[in-house]
Amino acid sequence: MYEQIVERLRDSIQSRQLADNLRLPTNRELAAMLKVDRSTVSRAYFELEQQGLIESHVGRGTFVRVRSGAAQEARTTEPVQSMVWPEKFSRASQTAFGILGRQPAQGALATNSISFAGGIPSEEFYPQEEFRRIVSQLARNDRSAEMFGYSPAEGDLELRRQVKCFLTEQRIPADDNELLIVSGSQQAIDLVTTTLVDPGDVVFVEEPTYFWAILKFAASQARCLPIPVDEHGIKVDVLESMLSRHQAKLLYLMPTFQNPTGATLSLDRRHKLLEVSRRYQIAILEDNFVGDLRYDGQPLPSLKALDRDRDLVIHQGTFSKALCPGLRLGWLVAPAEVSSRLQLAKRASDLSTNSMAQVVMAEYLRQGLYEKHLEHVKSVYRRRRDTMCQALSTHLGSRLSWTKPEGGLFVWAKLPSGCSSRELLAHAEREGVSFSPGDMFFVHGDRMDFLRLSFIQHDEQTIETGISRLGRAVDLYLQSRQRLERSSNLVHSRGNESALI
């Protein structure tokens, strides 16, 4: 038993799920949590201390040992009276900090470098002129109180009305007490986490999945358990078997044009997922962050639309991807009793959402400008996706494998086995192109052979140039690997020779 504890903690420390200086539970607390004797925990902690992974301080507790020596040195040389902040940070902050470390460092990129990393919509389509006009119109009609006063915590009345309209078109019913305007998708995830997740609760996520969702769930001290995704979305048979083994609180998924894979959950699986989730009474958070951006094929109903009793699914959406991210506007649709709790979490977080953005956006929707915008950007993004996939075929041929997504923002590509997207990124940056390394999207950050490419941000010419640079980077990377292999074979054979002598 104590070996299992040692193993699990060692894995968590080495994968940086447990951050430097994180205070561990006391013997007593951990024994209670795991339902084992305190002596078992003591033995496990002793073993881990022997291995140099943790350190105990009498009266202060047991901590994850600092892995670079610098922080610890600084601490001992400071005068006593100075505030020692690292001791003050919460577990939430320590955990988040550990996971944040997976983000690639922002190197000094060449000025003409092309980034396919972020999922940011194209700046040329931001609604500057429309918003300027609407702000003037609103000022003429004196909408001062709505634009500059507090908006209701649940959101501006007119914006809620407009959002309900297009949700209705998607067959998502949303009563007044079911709809909450939020400051973007990330806040939706934050509010749902605050409302539902206690430390130690199990949260299922797709794997791979959205980086900031992993970070948020882990920071809340949830146990984040991954369910694999294939080309038809989350594997519901695996989900079912996991549900039978774990009492889970929440399933977070992006059924349509998933981040990062671009996969869409098939209709069969949608039905099956709802049935299984109901049977096991697990709450579903459906993140529909790019549902609007479909370029081919027939739209599928969202899980929320398929949830006939309207009691199982919390649905979230955003204007950040289809329009622009700087407004920080999104929405949550949840059963009334949940929605009132989400609204309470919203008030405790930031009272309410920026009023000016809401009022102007409501008017933008009311004038039918959003629909027109969507039609336009969809045709542009469709061509960009096609250009990227064509360029990948041309410049990377069989060295990368990927599936063309039917919508959304991303192409998810796999390197030959044994390759590392981090190593490739170093080559790519020298060639003037970058992407998101795939390990960021895995709960334990341990799959190195994927990369995520966003195709919406640049025009077709730039995409073509960027992918040709990526092709060169992959060539150089594979060549360097071959050289390395040859020289390591050489070392190996020399080693063998010595052994023979």
Sequence letter at residue 69: G
Closest by CA position to 236, among listed 206, 202, 261: 206
**Binding of residue 291 to its own copies (CB under 8 A):** no
| Closer Cβ to its own copies, 146 or 292, answer by number | 146
Site for its own copies in 11-50 (CB under 8 A): 28-29, 31-33, 35
| Two tokens, residue 156 | 């501006």
Q: Which residue from 327, 333, 443, 451 is in contact with its own copies, where contact means CB under 8 A?
A: 327
Residue pair 384/404 in contact by the 8 Å Cβ criterion: no
Q: Which residue from 174, 219, 227, 276 is in contact with its own copies, where contact means CB under 8 A?
A: 219
Site for its own copies in 223-262 (CB under 8 A): 249
| Closer Cβ to its own copies, 189 or 474, answer by number | 189
Part of the chain binding its own copies (CB under 8 A), chosen from 132-140, 371-379, 386-394, 404-412: 132-140
Q: Which residue from 15, 66, 75, 89 is in contact with its own copies, where contact means CB under 8 A?
A: 89
23: DSSP letter: B
**Binding of residue 296 to its own copies (CB under 8 A):** no
**Binding of residue 120 to its own copies (CB under 8 A):** yes
Which residues fall within 8 angstroms of residue 116, CB to CB, at 6 or more apart? 433, 434, 435, 436, 452, 453, 454, 455, 457, 458, 466, 470
Q: Which residue from 15, 56, 72, 194 is in contact with its own copies, where contact means CB under 8 A?
A: 194
Closest by CA position to 45, among listed 24, 16, 60: 24
Question: What's the CA gap between 171 and 324, in Å, rounded?
Answer: 24
The pairing of strands 223-230 and 233-234 is antiparallel
Sequence letter at residue 496: N
Q: Which residue from 4, 51, 144, 482 is in contact with its own copies, where contact means CB under 8 A?
A: 144
The pairing of strands 433-434 and 330-333 is unpaired
| Closer Cβ to its own copies, 158 or 423, answer by number | 158
Question: What's the CA gap between 412 and 401, in Å, rounded?
Answer: 9
Which residues fall within 8 angstroms of residue 282, CB to CB, at 6 or more apart? 204, 243, 248, 249, 250, 251
Helix or strand run (H / E) with residue 182: strand 179-182
**Binding of residue 267 to its own copies (CB under 8 A):** no
Q: Which residue from 76, 111, 112, 136 is in contact with its own copies, where contact means CB under 8 A?
A: 136
b vs e for 135-165, b when ≥16 Cβ sit within 10 Å of the residue's Cβ?
A: beebeeeebeebbeeebebbbbebbbebbbe
Part of the chain binding its own copies (CB under 8 A), chosen from 325-333, 366-374, 406-414, 473-481: 325-333
Q: Which residue from 44, 283, 362, 369 is in contact with its own copies, where contact means CB under 8 A?
A: 283
Q: How many CA atoms lie within 13 A of 306 on its CB side?
A: 20
Closest by CA position to 192, among listed 329, 104, 284: 284
**Binding of residue 81 to its own copies (CB under 8 A):** yes
Part of the chain binding its own copies (CB under 8 A), chosen from 160-168, 346-354, 463-471, 485-493: 346-354
Which residue carries 């008030």 as its tokens?
347
Residue pair 76/87 in contact by the 8 Å Cβ criterion: no
Residue 281: burial class (beta carbons within 10 Å; 0-12, 13-18, 19+):
exposed
Q: Which residue from 110, 139, 165, 267 is in contact with its own copies, where contact means CB under 8 A?
A: 139
Site for its own copies in 410-449 (CB under 8 A): none
Q: Which residue from 10, 91, 271, 399 is in contact with its own copies, where contact means CB under 8 A?
A: 91
Q: How far is the CB of 333 from its own copies (least distance, A)?
A: 14
Question: What's the CA gap between 264 and 294, in Å, rounded?
Answer: 11
Q: How far is the CB of 117 from its own copies (least distance, A)?
A: 13
Q: How far is the CB of 53 from its own copies (least distance, A)?
A: 21
Q: Which residue from 261, 353, 434, 454 is in contact with its own copies, where contact means CB under 8 A?
A: 353
Part of the chain binding its own copies (CB under 8 A), chosen from 289-297, 338-346, 396-404, 461-469: 338-346
Q: Which residue from 16, 164, 269, 328 is in contact with its own copies, where contact means CB under 8 A?
A: 328
From residue 468 to residue 497, the character string flagging contacts with its own copies as x (rule: CB under 8 A) and all else as - is ------------------------------
CA 191 vs CA 42, 66, 220, 442: distances in Å: 37, 32, 11, 22
| Closer Cβ to its own copies, 261 or 343, answer by number | 343
Question: What's the CA gap between 191 and 303, in Å, rounded?
Answer: 20
**Binding of residue 145 to its own copies (CB under 8 A):** yes
**Binding of residue 324 to its own copies (CB under 8 A):** yes
Residue pair 293/264 in contact by the 8 Å Cβ criterion: no
**Binding of residue 88 to its own copies (CB under 8 A):** yes
Number of residues that bind its own copies (CB under 8 A): 90
Q: Which residue from 357, 396, 448, 473 is in contact with its own copies, where contact means CB under 8 A?
A: 357
Q: How far is the CB of 375 from its own copies (least distance, A)?
A: 19
| Closer Cβ to its own copies, 187 or 434, answer by number | 187
